[in-house]
A = this chain, B = another copy of it.
Amino acid sequence: MPRVTVICGGVGAARFLRGLVQAVDPAEVTAVVNVGDDSVLHGLEISPDLDTITYTLAGAIDPGRGWGLVDESWQAMEQVRRYASANGISAHDDIGNDAAGWFSLGDRDLGTHLYRTSRRHAGATLSEVTAEIAVAWGLELRLLPVSDDPVRTRLATTDGRELTFQEYFVREQHGVPVRAVRVEGADAARPAPGVIEAIDGADVVVIAPSNPVVSIDPVLAVPGVRDAVIRARTRTVAISPIVGGVALKGPADRLLRELGHEASVTSIARWYTPLASTLVVDDVDAELAADVESLGIACVVTPTVMTTPAAAADLARRCMEEGIR
């Protein structure tokens, strides 16, 4: 059975993985996951991308929201907002005022953060807790945070603020123009145990259709990871998160433009050519395949919109074929 390692952000990666585990033996799959979105909110350690992948693969993600647990209740957060409201505390009093309750945490989801925080305070690494949480949900693949050290994506806005990823994405609903992105702590971070080995030892490496700026780049920014992917370039397949010039989810298209890039598959090709030998683009971008290939990366045209697990499995099979070729 081929071994596959997937470089992951959140929702897009989760959907891809849900297909991949149907297409190959889950025991041979390693997901290397972005932790740049991780935050401490209300004193709790939150790992949004890890949780989105875990909940999706467990079949427990809320299908409407695309994040958090299905059939969730919101008692805790309603109470937080009652306190904030009684005291006139708003999300914008200070940068990052989580006491206002702008980051919605469902009651059952809170259990994940309470458990993770307890285990971390007791000395467990993020890798260890991630594995424990995955076991409880019956996951068969291996889920690795890219690093056990703090790696935090920071977005500098055109109005002179610097936001954490959650402040940008959730509190501001990615509605403020960004002029630069940096990954705090990346220089000093070490890859989590098994990350480099999983890339080196994979028959196929897949770069998931996640946001290249704020999901994939913070993974690659951990010293040693980008070099490992470059070493695996001939076996690496990237899936474009841009389809017909737009991001299917989230602000990837706008972020690319704000940072001076085009929001197109050719722009993604330019971004990933040093890392991957193949770029998978959606049928709607078929006419750009020649432009993509002119940049020195093979272009595969196939449906990439993962509306169902079966569609995701088809996409995963195609990536496997291309990566092993």
Q: Are B133 and A83 in contact (CB under 8 A)?
A: yes
**Bound form: Cα–Cα A107–B78 in Å:** 10
Q: Are B76 and A42 in contact (CB under 8 A)?
A: no
Give chain A's interface secondary structure class.
helix
**Bound form: Cα–Cα A121–B96 in Å:** 11
A82-96 residues at the B interface, CB under 8 angstroms:
82-87, 94
A195-222 residues at the B interface, CB under 8 angstroms:
none
Residue A169 CB within 8 A of the other chain:
no
Instruction: List chain B residues, Cβ under 8 A from A246.
Output: none
Residue A317 CB within 8 A of the other chain:
no
Instruction: List chain B residues, Cβ under 8 A from A109.
Output: 79
User: A-side interface residues toward B, CB under 8 Å?
Assistant: 40-45, 73, 75-80, 82-87, 94, 97-99, 101, 105-115, 117-119, 121-122, 132-133, 135-136
Beyond the given A42-B115, A43-B114, A80-B111, could you list 18 further A-B residue pairs with CB under 8 A, ordered by the A residue number? A43-B44, A43-B118, A73-B75, A76-B76, A78-B108, A79-B108, A79-B110, A82-B136, A83-B111, A83-B132, A87-B132, A87-B135, A87-B136, A97-B118, A97-B122, A98-B118, A99-B118, A99-B122
What are 28 sample pairs from A and B whose C-beta atoms fall under 8 A apart? A41-B118, A42-B44, A42-B114, A42-B118, A43-B45, A43-B117, A43-B118, A75-B107, A76-B76, A76-B108, A76-B110, A76-B111, A79-B109, A79-B110, A79-B114, A79-B115, A83-B132, A83-B136, A86-B132, A86-B136, A87-B136, A97-B118, A97-B122, A99-B118, A99-B119, A101-B115, A107-B107, A110-B110
